[in-house]
Structure 1
Amino acid sequence: MIPELRKEFNERFTARKYELFKQRLTERCRAEIGFRISETPFFVPRHIQQACEQGAVELAMLAHDPEYLKLSDATLQPEYAVPNQTDRSMFLVVDFAMAEGENGEVVPRLIEMQGFPSLMGFQIAFAELTQEHWGLPDNLGYINGGHTRQEVLGLLHRAIVAQHDPENVVLLELDPWNQKTCCDFQIMRELLGLHVADIRFVKKVGGKLHYEKDGRLVPIHRIFNRAIVDEIQKKGVELPFGWGDEIDVEWAGHPNWYFRISKFTLPYLNHPLVPQAIFLDRMAELPQNLDAFVLKPLYSFAGAGVIVGPTEAEVNGVPAEQRDKYILQERITYAEAITTPEGGTKAEYRIMLVWMPGEERPRPIMGLVRMGRGKMMGVDFNRNMTWIGAGCNFYQG
């Protein structure tokens, strides 16, 4: 998308250097990377960068509108509602398709947003190594929101560790070291000094949670939550505490926001970057051109259950009692935004936001890119292809 950078990168690329890069990235993370790393970064024009950052902030604020928040009460199932909810989602991610505009230009269009953190630590390490390994110009930036690296690290420390001893702060996940994202957990542990804990093995003593370390119980004062209820429920895991228990702990990213800001939010957003989305149970009749829509379940992860261009039979096959948990979203025509030796590649650009207590607006801090040529984006839907997968963003400063 920045032609001179794209041309130079493609001409200098070699498969051997790419294999060496992946090896170095694994060594840097000291953990396996459970998803495909693309051969290329994403060179994003400054106007696209700014449009996505501004759009992400505006959409995050719309998702905190008091009227919408009343409606989002419907997303909280009693068994998963956590007490003492914060007044805002500390972490948000906003995913934009690099779409084809009316005149063939590349324009951002919202795909999804979630009140949940993403790979903030990994993307820092990923971008730094990418710039060094491939010899990219020093004037290329990879930190979002006009921040420096030190400012982002300070922001993450204040958001996640706050005033606590890092020993009493845990990154909480289900079976963390076997997750595809464990590379991020390792980097976050390195950057912040926190402990990575398996949610199955924390111990509840009275009204407090603890983890075991060197034969002693360490009290947990603050939780950076990365555990996804969908996965816990799907795997039938029994937790040592209930989500609704009154527990003496602070949340760096309160779990309720995962539900409140989600696919459920999309039909309520009135913004130029947002395609039409309708709850399935509110449709008097189906559109004639179903091929121009995407059927999405509200509560799933990694693209599970999504049908691009569904048939009438597939839509009607959703049980009546489940139709309020599905949306039909206008299908977006992706631009072949990245020129590669394998042809044009499509991209989604994720903006990661942190919203600190007392601040009027969330801050964009990092970006993440997914590239693909399949019917759906995401590494699980583009297997056996090259020049696709996860990437980092660079823009001209």
Structure 2
Amino acid sequence: MVPDLRAQYNSNFTTEKYEAFLKELNSKHGTIQFRSAETPVFVPRDFTNQLLSACESIVDVILKPDFKALTQNAIPRELQVLNEDDYPSCITFDFGVCINDQQKLEPQLIEMQAFPTLFAFEVLLDDVFYKHFSAPSHYSSYLNGLDRDSYLKLLKDLLLNGHEPEHVVLLEIFPHQQKTNIDFYCTQEYTGIIPLCVTELIQKGKQLFYLKEGKETRIKRIYNRVIFDELLQQEDWVQEKAKVLFEDLEVEWMPHPNWFYRISKYTLPLIQHPNIPSTQYLDQVEHIPEDLQNYVLKPLFSFAGQGVVIDITPDDIQNIEDPQNWILQKKVTYASVIQTPDEPAKAEIRVFYFWPKNAARPVPANNLVRLSKGKMIGVRYNKDKTWTGGTFGLFER
């Protein structure tokens, strides 16, 4: 994306540097369960401005007085959680690095979620990267003028909200078995918040507790990493333990589970912006487009790319029994623009937005990037390929 920097980085890259980088990265909290790419992505200022313009337009929609009414049907009835707050504490926006009809690079929104991602791990990744590689000083992974210290303060304030760390837990389903567990351990290191499984919750009336060194300790705030859809796929005893989360509890959420559904693919048809592909609810599509090859079909309530239909036929649409739970989205063209030693890679940039307490709007804070050489972004499309996997963007300041 910045040809001079890309050429310079690639010419200075060595396998020995990369292996030393991986060794240190994996030595901190154990072996990372996903592939770490060989390179960051250099993002020029004009591209960043387009990214943030799209994000801000979405925030404008979220701030509209009728947003909750418009998105009420986004939350599955059986998964609605009580005591929802007024705004989402965090939002992540995924953009493909795409090429338009004028053969120019541009970001295009792929999806968004009011749900955490690797907020803490990206700090470790940035730290270790600069021990083994270099980049120009006017490029940074941190956004909005933040640096490592101010970003960690913002993250810590967001997660703790004034509580002592022992009264805040990172809640997940069997956290130590998750592929993203490195982020949980980094979160604990930087903030003092421990990862806790939903099966370890102890309820007493409206209050929740957990055992800390054998002592029942009050939970006042939950850093929620539970995807509630996944609860429905667990064994009965796990679902039974998790039922407590749907009760009227004296606990704060970060973020509240309902926002996971409100700000999602469900929201895309409500937004118009040059960097957001045209999207319709499938049950509101009056005529099937003749150029179906230019569209993608996505289920509203599935994640990590599951169920997406890329090469659509009219039969695919006709055979869908619940069109109200699907969207038809204009297809974007990912650009194979990241030059690597063999074939170029595609990139998807995830921008982190945090909503500080009492702030009028959320602010951009950090990012992660995924590189792919396959048909889609994801591990199963990149087997045995190098210069793919998780990394971060370095944005021109």
TM range (shorter): over 0.9
Match of 1:22, SS state, is helix
Compute the displacement of 1:115 (Å). 0.9
Q: Which residue of 1 aligns with 2:353?
A: 353
Matched-pair contact (CA < 8 Å) for 2:272–2:278? no
For the pair 1:2 / 2:5, whether they are aligned, the reply is no
Assess if the C-alpha contact under 8 Å between 1:127 and 1:393 holds in 2.
no
Whole-Å Cα distance in 1 between the matches of residues 42 and 110 of structure 2?
A: 20
Deviation string 1:297-320 (CA, Å, 9 cap, x unpaired) is 11111111111122222222221x
In the alignment, what sits opposite 1:328?
A: 328
The equivalent of 2:27 in structure 1 is 27
Asked if 2 retains the 8 angstrom alpha-carbon contact of 1:31 and 1:186, the reply is: no
Query: Whole-Å Cα distance in 1 between the matches of residues 31 and 309 of structure 2?
Result: 30
Give the secondary-structure state (helix, strand or coil) at the position aligned to 1:294. strand
Listed as ranges, the matches of 1:83-122 within 5 Å are 83-122=82-121
Q: Which residue of 2 aligns with 1:285?
A: 287
Structure 2 counterpart of 1:300, from 292, 299, 302: 302
1:242 matched to 2:244? The reply is yes
The CA distance in 1 between the partners of 2:67 and 2:254, in whole Å, is 23
Mapping for residues 1-397 of structure 1, pairs under 5 Å: 1-28=1-28, 30-236=29-235, 237-240=238-241, 241-319=243-321, 322-397=322-397
Tell me the CA shift for residue 19 of structure 1: 2.4
Post-superposition offset of 1:239: 4.1
For 2:180 and 2:63, the matched residues in 1 are separated by 28
Q: Give the TM-score of the pair, scaled to structure 2.
A: 0.95
User: Residue by residue, what CA displacement relative to the aligned partner does 1:14-65 show, whole Å, maximum 9, x if unpaired?
Assistant: 223222222211113x033221111111111122123212322331231332
What is the rounded CA distance, in whole Å, between the counterparts of 2:145 and 2:49 in structure 1?
A: 10
TM-score (norm 1): 0.95
User: Once the two structures are aligned, what percentage of the paired residues are identical?
Assistant: 35
Q: Supply the distance in 2 between the matched residues of 1:318 and 1:382 (Cα, whole angstroms).
A: 29
CA–CA distance in structure 1, aligned partners of residues 224 and 54 of structure 2 = 25
> Structure 1 residues 270 and 37, CA, compared in 2 at 3 Å: closer, same or farther?
same
Partners in 1 of 2:152 and 2:102 — Cα distance? 40
Gaps of 5+ in 1: none
Contact 1:170 1:197 in 2 (8 A): yes
Q: Distance in 1 between matches of 2:113 and 2:380?
A: 19
Give the whole-Å Cα distance in 2 for the aligned partners of 1:148 and 1:61. 26
The amino acid across from 1:124 in the alignment is V
Going from structure 1 to structure 2, the CA distance change for 1:317 and 1:31 (only over 3 Å counts) comes to farther
Q: Is the 8 A contact 1:39 1:387 kept in 2?
A: yes
CA contact (8 A) 2:143 2:395 kept: no
Deviations 1:281-336 (Å, cap 9, x if unpaired)? 112232122211111111111111111122222222221xx211111111101112
- For 1:369 and 1:37, locate their aligned partners in 2 and report how far apart those are by CA, in whole Å: 10
Secondary structure in 1 matching 2:199 = coil
8 Å Cα contact 2:184-2:195 kept in structure 1: yes
Q: Decide which moves more: 373-382 or 207-216.
A: 373-382
Shift of 1:383: 2.1
Task: Report if the CA contact (8 A) 2:349-2:368 is conserved.
Answer: yes
C-alpha distance in 1 between matches for 2:315 and 2:273: 31
Q: What is the CA deviation profile of residues 147-205 of structure 1, one whole-angstrom value per residue up to 9, with x for unaligned ones?
A: 12221111112111111110010010111111111111111110001121011221112
- Higher alpha-carbon deviation: 207-216 or 322-331: 207-216
CA 1:311–1:15 in 2, change beyond 3 Å: closer, same or farther?
farther
Amino acid at match of 1:343: E
Show CA shifts across 1:318-372 (max 9, x none). 21xx211111111101112211112221111111000123212211010111111
CA distance in 2 between partners of 1:210 and 1:61 (Å): 38
Structural RMSD (CA): 1.5
On the 8 A contact 1:81/1:244 being kept in 2, the answer is yes
Task: Report if aligned partners of 2:94, 2:351 keep a CA contact under 8 Å in 1.
Answer: yes
User: Could you tell me how far apart the structure 1 residues matched to 2:190 and 2:49 are?
Assistant: 27
Is contact 2:203–2:244 with CA below 8 Å preserved after alignment? no
Q: How many Å separate the matches in 2 of 1:243 and 1:313?
A: 40
What is the rounded CA distance, in whole Å, between the counterparts of 1:373 and 1:312 in structure 2? 29
Task: Provide the C-alpha distance between the structure 1 equivalents of 2:70 and 2:153, rounded to a whole number of angstroms.
Answer: 35
In structure 2, distance between residues paired with 1:113 and 1:76: 15
Runs of 4+ deviating beyond 6 Å = none
Q: Is the 8 A contact 1:169 1:220 kept in 2?
A: yes
The answer (yes or no) to whether the contact 1:31–1:182 under 8 Å persists in 2 is no
Gaps of 5+ in 2: none
CA contact (8 A) 2:336 2:345 kept: yes
How far residue 127 of structure 1 moved from its aligned partner, in angstroms, is 1.5
Q: Secondary structure at the match of 2:209?
A: strand
Decide which moves more: 336-345 or 325-334.
336-345
What CA distance in whole angstroms lies between the structure 2 residues aligned with 1:379 and 1:52? 25
